[in-house]
């Protein structure tokens, strides 16, 4: 009976420890998301003079996820998206358009 209690206690301690590690990792995600949002807020505007290559570089350096989705789109979709932003605009609106365009492909 005593061995059973010790084994049970060890299992509980192990599970609790795993839960704490998972919670610590989960806490890091909102922090990273907040940091990337702050970076995006600072960058916020795409300059009117941005070429398609400039736009891709902005996405690649500051918005990796959007860059990957954008990069997977066919060239005509990319040109349509670029046309919508070539006179300048808000990066968040552009990112939303990229996602919408990607979803429409399927």
Q: What is the dihedral of CA 19, 20, 25, 26, to 10 degrees?
A: 70
What is the pLDDT, as a whole number, of residue 8?
A: 59
What is the pLDDT, as a whole number, of residue 46?
A: 79
Residue 51, SS3 per DSSP: coil
**Mean pLDDT value of segment 42-68:** 84
Domain locations along the chain = 1-43, 46-106
Mean pLDDT value across the chain: 73
Is 70 a residue whose pLDDT tops 80?
yes
pLDDT digits (tens, 9 = 90+) for 72-81: 999 999 999 9
pTM across the whole model: 0.55
Q: What is the DSSP letter of 89?
A: E
């Amino acid at each position: 009976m005593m061995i059973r209690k010790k084994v049970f206690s060890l299992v509980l301690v192990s599970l609790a420890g795993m839960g704490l590690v998972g919670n610590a990792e989960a806490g890091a995600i909102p922090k990273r998301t907040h940091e990337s949002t702050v970076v995006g807020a600072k960058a916020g505007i795409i300059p009117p003079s941005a070429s398609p290559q400039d736009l891709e570089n902005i996405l690649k350096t500051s918005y990796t996820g959007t860059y990957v989705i954008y990069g997977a789109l066919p060239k005509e979709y990319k040109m349509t998206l670029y046309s919508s932003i070539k006179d300048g605009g808000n990066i968040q609106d552009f990112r939303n358009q990229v996602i919408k365009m990607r979803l429409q492909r399927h």
